[in-house]
Amino acid sequence: MYEDFKATDRWSGEELHCRWRANVVAIATRHADAVDIRFDVSGRPVWIAMPCLAWVEQKKRTGHTITDSLAAQAAGRYLKKAIESGYDYGREMYTMTIEEVLEQVEAVLREAGHTSNLPYLVPLDDAQPQV
């Protein structure tokens, strides 16, 4: 779905290859109450910051939690839409609102049908240390 996809930049027409790399709790790295989802976009790092309160709100509204895989898919869907709509391409970090996170989560779940249908987040071979 959105862990490894291509998107066409609205302004340049360039096809960009986007690959999920990591989910990082930003409290330790940026002192932010967020989860940062890292993608490589044609070799360039791009981060999608998702506020932790979105996890709380999702649980309140639906009784279900946002899994790591679901967060990555929602961030990837958001990134794809941002690129295709021409939303300030070239940024290193995008910050989602709580409502944007919940909208993307809902859209991913509609597409997938259930979290059990989401692809596993497997670290890519080139991200593994060589022994």
User: Position of tokens 């898919």?
Assistant: 73
User: With contact defined as beta carbons under 8 Å apart, do 48 and 96 qualify?
Assistant: yes
- Signed CA dihedral, 106, 110, 113, 116: sign only: negative
CATH fold group of domain 4-113:
Double Stranded RNA Binding Domain (3.30.160)
**pTM for the predicted model, two decimal places:** 0.89
CA distance 87 to 75: 15
Q: Is pLDDT of 5 > 70?
A: yes
Q: Tens digits of per-residue pLDDT, 70-129?
A: 999 999 999 999 999 987 667 899 999 999 999 999 999 999 998 888 988 876 555 544
What pLDDT shows up at residue 29? 79
Residue ranges with strand state E in the chain: 4-8, 15-25, 34-41, 44-51, 93-95
Indicate if the pLDDT at residue 65 is higher than 90: yes
